[in-house]
Structure 1
Amino acid sequence: MSDFNTTLNQALTEDEESFLRRLDDEPGLFEQLGNTFQGKLKFWTAYAFVMSFVIFIAAIYCFWQLLNAETTRGLILWATGTWCLLLSVGLTKIWFWMRMNHIAMLREIKRIELYLAKNDPV
């Protein structure tokens, strides 16, 4: 066994193996979303999740004010507010998709790492 494989075997702990066994099945969309609320970034994820709802409610309010605006200046300001807030919601959702993709990539890297550790390549 090479030095790399020895080091890799020592690096793999029982926690990592149980983590990999839990991730053997491909998770569905909602399970992947739930997985984003675990780990070191769980508080940031929860914060972003709540803020996306708050920003969406603010966008609805701005849109309602846009429909009731009586001046051109009011129309422009409320339309700009609506556009910026909806853009913020979209960017937050993109961040969630990137986080889900990051976790999926980590799962695949861990699978490869475990495969290499278990099957000694030449």
Structure 2
Amino acid sequence: MTNLDQAIRQALSAEDAEFLARFDKEAPLHSQVLGTFSGPMGALNVFAAIITFAMFGAAVYCAYNLFLASDARTAVLWSVGVVVSMLAVAMLKIYFWMEINKSAVLREVKRLELQVARLAARAQA
């Protein structure tokens, strides 16, 4: 925790600090990954996961044929297949990490909205 976090915690009332402590725990990685398959983008993320596994399978197939290639031209073509397939896998993995990051940012924004709503309710009372 930084000094700013400590200053914010000290400024909160005991009730607010207790309330916000419930949201401090971040979800484990496996639940964050599985969370990308739900919601409005869930179907697209399932499709992207299937494509990721298909591209990895294609990379393995190309690598297998690369080692069986008898001439240099064929070996180069199979190695291009390996590189392109693994690039596709890498790009899809980056997409999934961006989705997980987006979920984390949205969760923090919702926490801030909740804090502002509680502050506004207290100011009106």
- Matched with 1:119 is 119
In the alignment, structure 1 segments of 5+ residues that lack a partner are: 1-20
Report the identity percentage.
36
**Match of residue 52 from structure 1:** 52
1:16-36, Cα deviation, whole Å (9 max, x unpaired)? xxxxx9x93310100100110
Measured after TM superposition, the shift of residue 99 of structure 1 is 0.2
Corresponding residue for residue 77 of structure 2: 77
Which residue number in structure 2 is paired with residue 17 of structure 1? none
Larger radius of gyration: 2
Deviation at 1:119, TM superposition (A): 1.1
Alignment root-mean-square deviation, CA: 1.8
Q: CA deviation at 1:89?
A: 0.4
The 2-side partners of 1:41 and 1:53 are apart by: 19
Q: How many equivalent pairs are there?
A: 101
Letter in 2 for 1:67: F
Q: Which runs of 5+ in 2 are unaligned?
A: 1-19
Q: Which whole-Å CA distance do the structure 2 matches of 1:34 and 1:62 have between them? A: 30
1:30 aligns with 2:36: no
TM-score calculated relative to the size of structure 2? 0.76
Deviations 1:67-107 (A, max 9, x none): 00011110110000000000100110000000000000000
